[in-house]
Structure 1
Amino acid sequence: MDNGNTIEYYINNQEEAEKKCIEKNRFSRKFKNRIDNISPEEIRSAKDNHKPK
């Protein structure tokens, strides 16, 4: 590290990035589960709501 940053700074950034990545993955899994569990009725009503006038 010759740009003035210490190794501790780098390690802290890595840990922070990993936490954010884990949170994002957790959200993505919840979102995907929600999509997988949408009933056909919900899909039909959503399509009806978006018909052009």
Structure 2
Amino acid sequence: MASDEEYMRLALAAARKAGNATWRNPRVGSCLVKDGKVWRLVSTSTTAASMLNVIPSPN
């Protein structure tokens, strides 16, 4: 099982994928973990209609 720090690194990497698309707002990434496994990685989107982009899980 990965540590909280490793999950945070994944979330930060997901946020970086947004690039400058969220220019006036902060980049946001999230690593959703279930039973010790990465379930989903998500990041902010450029459109209001889709606030989160699902990024394929590394597992």
TM-score, scaled relative to structure 2: 0.32
Q: Larger RCO: Structure 1 or Structure 2 (Cα < 8 Å, ≥ 6 residues apart)?
A: 2
TM-score, scaled relative to structure 1: 0.35
- Higher strand proportion (structure 1 or 2): 2
Q: Which has the larger radius of gyration?
A: 1
